[in-house]
Amino acid sequence: MNAMQKLTRDDLMSLEQYSEARPDFRNKVLLHKRHRRLDLGTNAALYFEDRLTMQYQVQEMLRIERIFEAAGINDELEAYNPLIPDGSNWKATFMVEFPEAEERRAMLKTLVGIEEKVFVRVDGFDPVHPIADEDLERSDEHKTSAVHFLRFELSPEMVEGLKSGAALAAGIDHDNYRVNIDPVADNVRNALIADLD
């Protein structure tokens, strides 16, 4: 099965099954996610999503909301399936993380547009900036949101380059927040290459 195939109801456990399987499933997902988190400096991070992280997200939503009707399950699948990469891209939850609420509020005002300034760069190619928040607007001219959904579209040449061993860098080039991770650690790079067809 293609790792990036969209989820269907057949892929999900019932609430009872999930209740039993959850501790083991959760551990598996947490281990998996460790290779899919990329810290961008001290106050921002990319969490790269895939089929497994979205399956976990859907199962957790169904559990919390106690959803077991087909229509409700389909609504959750519709909400989360778009976050599964399509083989030519990476999809990530981008978080701006400041522990103190006051500081976070102040910083989000200085970081307007930061979601557009995140980038990934395959060695030998121009940086790729994301398409941000396709589902809904999360920012205005006064402040940005602490959470954004990003899609990084890669050219076939970039995919080929990565698969042939090209290094991967990432960062943010916002006036008030600059960071360059070069190279991205192998464990993260390898997890991301597995998302590509």
Question: pTM to 2 decimals?
Answer: 0.91
Q: 1 pLDDT band (50/70/90 cuts)?
A: very low
Asked if 51 contacts 91 with a C-beta cutoff of 8 angstroms, the reply is no
- What percentage of the chain has pLDDT greater than the value 90? 88
Q: Measured between alpha carbons, how far is 133 from 115 in angstroms, rounded to an integer?
A: 9
Give per-residue pLDDT as tens, 82-137. Answer: 999 999 999 999 999 998 999 999 999 999 999 999 999 999 999 999 999 776 66
> Is there a cis peptide before residue 99, judged by omega within 30 degrees of 0?
no
Domain boundaries along the sequence of the chain: 1-34+51-84, 86-197
- Give which of 56, 167, 178 is closest to 117, Cα–Cα: 178
